[in-house]
Amino acid sequence: PPIGVLRVTTVKAEGIKSGDWHLFPSQAVDDNYIKFAMGNQEWKAPTARMNETNYFFVHDSLQRLSIDVYDEDKWTADDYLGKVGDWTAEQAQGHSDKLLHLHDPDDPQGDAGHLQFTVEYLKTLPRELPSETDMCLIVLHFKEVFLPSSEITGKIALTCKIGETEKKTPAAKPLGGAMRKSTESILKDVKERLEKEDIEASVIDRVTKLEGLQIEKGLMKAAINCHQEYLVSFATMRATDKLSMELTLVEEHINKQKEKVDTPLGGVMFELQDLINAPAEEFQRDIEIPTKDANKAYTVQVSAQICALQIGTPPTATQVDSIRDDSGNHIGTDEASKDNEGNSSMRIAGRWNKKKKAKAEAEKKNMTGS
C-alpha cells in the first residue's frame, strides 16, 4: 500500500492574470486552473472556486507534488501562467497555509499572483482499523481473469466501483496468442484434409473445433496484474451500509474511428465487509462473474488490504535532488525550495552553468599558462 496520503485543499487564489485577451476585461471569465500532479495522479482545481479537496497517494518519500497554473483554452493548447512549487510531501506540508508566490515564466522577477493551500499528511496503518477511524484506504490487487472459453480474443479489462469512485484496470489480451494462431492453423489443415476424404461436415466441425481441446485451457486466462487504491469515508456511510465493490468485466475493441469501445461481458456486486470485520487477516478471493450462459462464469483473482489513515508527519526524503559536475562534486540541492518560491530547479541550473563556466575558464587559463 502507499506509505501515506496527501490531502490538499485550495484556500486562496489572488492577483492571477488571465491568459486570454478580452475587449472588456471586467467581463472576462476566470477559466484559470491549478494543476497538481504527483506521479501519474493529476488534479485540476479552478481558481474561481476555492475550498475544494483532493487526495494524492504517496508511495515514496522522494515523490514530488508539482503545482502549476494554466489558463484553459477551448480551441488551442492551454496557456501556461507559472509555477508555484515542486516539492516532496514533507516540503509540501511545510508550505501549508502560507501565501505562495506564483512565478511567471516570462517575468521571473514579476508578481504573477499568489496562492494558498492546506496540505495534510495521512499516514497509512496497514491491516489496522482503530474504532476512532473515520477514513480508510482499500488496496486491491487484481491478478488473473479466467475465461469460460477461448472465444474471446479481444483485450480484457475490469472496472471497479467502490462508493462514488470508479476505476478501470489496464486491458490485457488472453494468454497464448501465438499458441492460438498455431493451433488454428493446424486445425484448418486438418479440416481441409478431412473434407478431401468426403467426411461428413458435422463430424469435421466437431473434430476441428478448438473448444474442448486440452490446449484450449492455456488460452482461457488473461493476466491483469493491477493495483488500485480507494479512499472510503465512514462518516458518509449510513449505519446500515456495507462496504462492497461493483465489478464489471469488459472486452475492449477499437472501432472504425480508432476509438476504444468497451463491451460489458458481465458484472457482480461483491461485499468487502470481511476487511472491516477482520482487518488483520489475509483477504484473497476468487470472484465469479456470471455470463449469459448460466453454466459458465468468469473468475477473477483478487486480494485486498485495508489501511487506517492517521494524521501524521511525512517521512523525510532519504535523498535530495542534486546536480554534480563531471568530477562528481556536489553543486546544488533543492534547499531553495524550502522558501515559498519553489524555484529550486532554476537556481540549481544557474549554479551548474556558473560552475561549468568557471571550470572551462580555469582549464583555458591552465592551457594558456602552459
DSSP 25: G
pLDDT score of 364: 54
pLDDT score of 75: 81
Give pLDDT tens digits for 158-182: 999 999 999 999 999 887 655 666 7
Under-50 pLDDT residues of the chain = 21, 23-24, 319-353, 355-356, 370
pLDDT score of 151: 72
Radius of gyration of the chain (CA): 29
d(CA 300, CA 294): 17
Q: Would you say the pTM of this structure is higher than 0.75?
A: no
Neighbours of 14 (CB within 10 A): 11
Ramachandran area for residue 328 (φ above 0: left; ψ -120 to 50: alpha; else beta): left
d(CA 27, CA 24): 6
pLDDT score of 254: 84
Q: Looking at this protein, which amino acid is placed at residue 260?
A: K
Measured distance between the N- and C-terminal CA atoms of the chain, rounded to whole angstroms: 61
Q: Which three cell numbers mark 279?
A: 482487518
pLDDT score of 112: 85
pLDDT score of 217: 58
pLDDT score of 111: 81
Give pLDDT tens digits for 248-278: 999 998 888 888 889 999 999 999 999 999 9
Please, which contacts does 97-103 make with residues 24 or more away whose CB atoms are closer than 8 Å? 97/11, 98/340, 99/12, 99/340, 100/340, 100/341, 100/342, 101/340, 101/341, 102/16, 102/69, 103/341, 103/342, 103/343
